[in-house]
């Protein structure tokens, strides 16, 4: 296996190369999840010592943190393995870069194709979510479908929960709450993204839903109201039991 130990290219300032390599290490954690320094080194063809140096720098900036690896079954003797994960600040740094690119692309699309083109793009973007979530939601009993949708959204980074609606819509009404939105900054400029997502929720749950609040509009949480169906009993409140991802 080829290793890049010094992380230096001829004719390039060392600081610039370090920044670029550090970005690769952070991106590896973003795409592959919690990893040991040795695993990252093998993945990126770097020396373990170089990876640990970059991880220490990222941790010093508050972008990465170390955790004890989860072990399934019996754990042998010796020090438990340490894995590294991106912090919320580390994820936000990537999302901000994506936001800038996505915003520029959508502004160009709006200028060349108009609002209809942006709306069509927004619908295409969430079509994959609908395709992946459909079997999960359809397989769940009616009173659990909002919770199943929240779980699926959480696995995709939305940190979603489902809870009983406080005094809205009658028996069985719920609220789907998304505590994180990866495209919030872009959706602030292009509300079509939120509208398309709301349409997908309605189709998946088989009922009209209403957006009460969005992070893109300055609210702390994206909140979607799901009215109860006639004769439907109140669903279990899962807010306190489901952790945000």
Q: Where are the domains of the chain?
A: 14-86, 91-226
Structure token digits, residue 98: 């994506």
User: What percentage of the chain carries pLDDT values higher than 70?
Assistant: 78
Q: Residue 51's closest CA among 80, 13, 25?
A: 25
Taking CA atoms, 57 is separated from 16, 94, 119, 231, in Å, by: 14, 17, 41, 57
Question: Over 60: is that where the pLDDT of 13 sits?
Answer: no
CATH code for residues 91-226: 3.30.1380
- Contacts of 97 by beta carbon, 8 Å cutoff, 6+ apart: none
Give the per-residue pLDDT at 170. Answer: 53
- If you average pLDDT over residues 33-57, what whole number do you get? 93
CB 233 within 8 A of CB 171: yes
Structure token digits, residue 130: 């609908």
What are the pLDDT digits (tens) for 183-193? 888 898 999 99
pLDDT-based confidence at residue 171 (cuts at 50, 70, 90): low
- If you average pLDDT over residues 25-46, what whole number do you get? 89
What are the pLDDT digits (tens) for 54-92? 999 999 999 999 988 655 445 556 566 789 988 878 877
Question: Over 60: is that where the pLDDT of 19 sits?
Answer: yes
pLDDT-based confidence at residue 137 (cuts at 50, 70, 90): very high
d(CA 81, CA 207): 47
Structure token digits, residue 106: 């959508």
Range of weakest confidence among 38-42, 178-182, 209-213: 178-182
pLDDT-based confidence at residue 15 (cuts at 50, 70, 90): low
Which comes out higher in pLDDT, residue 206 or 233?
206
pTM for this predicted structure: 0.57
3-state secondary structure of 216: helix
User: What percentage of the chain carries pLDDT values higher than 90?
Assistant: 48
- If you average pLDDT over residues 158-165, what whole number do you get? 88
CATH class of 14-86: mainly alpha
Question: Over 90: is that where the pLDDT of 218 sits?
Answer: no
């Amino acid at each position: 296996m080829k290793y890049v130990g010094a992380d230096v290219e001829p004719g390039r300032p060392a600081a610039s190369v370090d920044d670029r390599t550090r970005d690769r290490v952070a991106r590896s954690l973003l795409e592959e999840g919690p990893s040991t320094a040795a695993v990252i080194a093998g993945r990126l063809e770097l020396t373990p010592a170089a990876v640990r140096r970059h991880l220490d720098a990222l941790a010093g900036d508050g972008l990465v943190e170390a955790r004890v690896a989860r072990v399934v079954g019996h754990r042998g003797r010796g020090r438990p393995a340490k894995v590294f994960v991106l912090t919320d600040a580390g994820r936000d740094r990537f999302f901000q870069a994506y936001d800038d690119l996505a915003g520029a692309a959508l502004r160009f699309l709006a200028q060349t194709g108009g609002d209809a083109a942006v709306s069509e793009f927004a619908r295409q973007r969430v079509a994959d979510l609908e395709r992946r979530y459909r079997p999960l939601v359809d397989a769940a009993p009616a009173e659990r479908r909002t919770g199943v949708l929240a779980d699926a959204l959480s696995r995709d980074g939305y940190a979603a929960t489902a809870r009983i609606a406080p005094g809205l819509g009658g028996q069985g009404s719920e609220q789907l709450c998304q505590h994180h939105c990866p495209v919030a900054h872009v959706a602030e400029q292009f509300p079509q993204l939120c509208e398309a997502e709301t349409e997908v929720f309605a189709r998946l749950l088989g009922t009209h839903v209403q957006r009460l609040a969005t992070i893109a509009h300055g609210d702390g949480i994206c909140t979607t109201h799901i009215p109860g169906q006639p004769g439907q009993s109140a669903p279990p409140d899962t807010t306190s039991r489901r952790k945000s991802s």
